[in-house]
């Protein structure tokens, strides 16, 4: 089992928590991005620098994903691809994506993208703070506990 992180969009505090959790549990944490991300270091951490280009980091995460892994990403199309590979997927705010809810979440995302493309986009999510980090930490613990029991 490994922890896969879409590092481009993952907040620093969530990345740090993922690193500490991987070290505590002796799991490998792989961070993928198109550029080096500061702070990714340690015995259990790997930074995958992907070539420039749309979705190259996403493609690398999907390539690395296997059943029983945990992925952390907020990119909903990527979450769907990772779920199809058998990975458990959460975002950095604690939302859990799974086979039962990903279709509806993706449809809503596509609807919102369509609105934004027509100038009717909604406001972005609020800043990342203690409340969001706590929700992420709780979801991370629950999901890893469930995966480790399998």
CATH topology of domain 2-149: Rossmann fold (3.40.50)
pTM of the model: 0.90
The answer to whether the beta carbons of residues 46 and 28 sit under 8 Å apart is yes
Could you give the CA distance from residue 22 to residue 77 in angstroms, rounded to a whole number? 25
pLDDT, tens only, 50-96: 998 889 999 999 999 999 999 999 999 999 999 999 999 999 999 99
pLDDT, tens only, 90-128: 999 999 999 999 888 888 877 877 777 777 766 666 688
The answer to whether the beta carbons of residues 57 and 6 sit under 8 Å apart is yes
| Residues facing 2 on adjacent strands | 28
């Amino acid at each position: 089992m490994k922890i896969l992180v879409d590092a481009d969009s993952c907040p620093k505090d969530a990345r740090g928590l993922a690193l500490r959790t991987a070290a505590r549990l002796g799991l490998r944490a792989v961070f993928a991005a198109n550029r080096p991300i500061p702070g990714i270091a340690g015995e259990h951490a790997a930074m995958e620098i992907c070539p420039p280009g749309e979705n190259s980091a996403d493609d690398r995460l999907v390539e690395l994903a296997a059943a029983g892994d945990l992925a952390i990403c907020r990119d909903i199309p990527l979450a769907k691809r990772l779920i199809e590979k058998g990975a458990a997927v959460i975002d950095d705010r604690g939302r859990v994506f799974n086979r039962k809810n990903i279709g509806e979440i993706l449809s809503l995302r596509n609807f919102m993208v369509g609105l934004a493309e027509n100038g009717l986009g909604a406001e972005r999510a609020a800043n990342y703070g203690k409340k969001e980090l706590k929700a992420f930490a709780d979801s991370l613990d629950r999901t890893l506990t469930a995966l480790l029991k399998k």
